[in-house]
Chains A and B, each alone.
Chain A
Amino acid sequence: MRVSLTIIFIFLALALYLGIRARKGKQMNLEQWTVGGRGFGTLFAFLLIAGEVYTTFTFLGGSGWAYSKGAAAYYVPTYIFLAYVLSYLYAPKIWKYSKENDIISHPDFFAKKYNSRPLGLLVAVVGSIALVPYIVIQLKGLGIIVSEASYGAISPVAASCLGAIVVAIYVMVSGIHGSAWTAVIKDFMILAVVVFIGIYIPVHYFGGVHSVFKAVQTVKPDLLTLPDKGLSYSWFISTVLLNTIGFYLFPHSFMVILTAKSEKTIRKNAITLPLYTLLLLFIFFIGFSAFVKIPGLKGASGDLALLKLSMQTFSPWVIGLIGGAGVLTALVPTSVMLMSGSAGLTQNLYRLVVPSATEKQLSIVSKFLIIVLSAIALYLTITGGEALAMLNIISYGLIIQLAPALFFSLKKNNFVNKYGALAGIITGELVALYLSIANVTMGTLLPNAPQWFKDINGGFIALMLNVIIMSVVSLITKKMTVEMEELHEVKNSSY
């Protein structure tokens, strides 16, 4: 038992060491701290982008969903690889505009594009609120992994606290450089661990992957296809589309785009990234194996499928390695999330309140905000108790509302103005919040609609209203300004 705990601590220490060391030889101004001076080549940018995707959610939630919901879990790699395909088209545009306008965070982009400080503030606040559940997922996952992998020697709460402290320290010291360096060992570890257990477990227990699925088919054939009701194909398609659109709208994913050295770096990465989602296949193998081998994990404890089965299979030192990989999987995304949240708030909230702020003050404020954000997330991690996948979906529901304003702003002739963008985002957020709190679905809205319609992701309701309000307000306010100008001209000419 001691062995696994020791190994996990070695990884934690290594992450802290690499994270702090990453600062070496860098002049840490705000641009260096947040986007690495926009100097990351293909490899670092790749590791960071991939690092954002392989979070504890993929590790635990991916296998957990395969375990408890079966084929519906395929939505995760599907939206991720489609998001990479889509990003080829727009991510370079975001990068270029950001470079030309010295933009280092997600809300700045909106503020600059629409020439509106309040919009920047709104986006910063929405982004931070959407990030918090995401950070909670990571800290919660970290707690579960460490506690399980230490065979209960450390409580999940203690582990989450420790993880939060380590990540806050190295983010404050090294910023994105720290994330990039920890991403190097993290990606190597996760790849090795997941491929190894993803092949070993099916072969060891079933003699091969094919037999795993055959076994599942005997026990519960429904698990291998999408059901007719609920998580049906219309749910799958709509959820994948929403998540694909929302993917780079998370402040941390957005920020990672900005670290790239050139537009070409981003496009080149898009080629290999879909292949990286193949990794999830191995996670599914483990989830399905667990379904046959260790049945009976209910609800949120389905997230434990991977760890429970591994503990039954391997000796403690292997569990230590899995735990170590799990810890890194939590730390890397958390670090970028904390930083992007803090940078957004610093640039768009603090600067609004104190316009005369110096670079040095901003840097202190942003570090202070790292502590605040980690503390809030940690508090929610300890007090909240939902299954990981649920939190993930709520986060996406909030962040997706930024999509219309962003995508329209990338067009050459954008008819949307700042009033429209503001009104659309506010409407979308309020509706999205209401829908998730009141648990409204397409089915409750239209109880007589056909089943496929009822299963459509409710997020679309909020998004549609968002687009409609955004367009209407933009057109009306545009007309008003034109009329006012005309009135002005008429007045002038009559004299």
Chain B
Amino acid sequence: MKNIKLLLLLPFIGVLLFLPAVNRVEPYVLGLPFLLFWIVFWMVLSSVILMIVYRLDPDNKGSDVE
């Protein structure tokens, strides 16, 4: 499960690599121009990805006191 942290690469790929392709106004999604929607979409997805990684990350198991 150590490789679970590779998931954290996804937001970088999603936002930065796809930027030239998503740099447009149409179609509007949720009232936002497409470029802005794309960035917002990845903000939210990043949170989800971080949550998944946090749950599965072996570093968070064990008796680490909170």
Chain A residues in the interface with B (C-beta under 8 A): 41-42, 71, 74, 77-78, 81-82, 84-86, 88-89, 92, 208-210, 213, 217, 221, 224-226, 233, 236-237, 240-241, 261-265, 267-268, 270-272, 274-275, 277-278, 281, 284
Contacts and interface: CB of A to CB of B under 8 A. Distances in A.
B interface, over-half SS: helix
B31 A208 contact: yes
Contact of B66 (A74, A217, A262, A271): A262
A233 B23 contact: yes
B40 A264 contact: no
Interface string B38-56: 0110111011011101100
A26 B46 CA distance: 38
B31 to A, nearest CB: 3
Interface in B14-47: 15-16, 19-20, 23-25, 28, 31-33, 35-36, 39-40, 42-44, 46-47
Given A89-B5, A263-B64, A81 B46 contact: yes
B65 to A, nearest CB: 7
A85 B50 contact: yes
A240 B24 contact: no
A217 B8 contact: no
A71 B33 CA distance: 10
What size tier do the contact residues of chain B reach? 35 or more
Most chain A CB neighbours (cut-off 10 Å) among B8, B28, B33, B44: B33
A438 to B, nearest CB: 29
Interface of B: 5, 8, 11-12, 15-16, 19-20, 23-25, 28, 31-33, 35-36, 39-40, 42-44, 46-47, 49-51, 53-54, 57, 59-60, 64-66
Given A82-B11, A224-B35, A241 B16 contact: yes
Most chain B CB neighbours (cut-off 10 Å) among A84, A92, A208: A84
B46 A71 contact: no
A272 B49 CA distance: 11
A289 B30 CA distance: 17
B43 A225 contact: no
B8 A88 contact: yes
A175 to B, nearest CB: 24
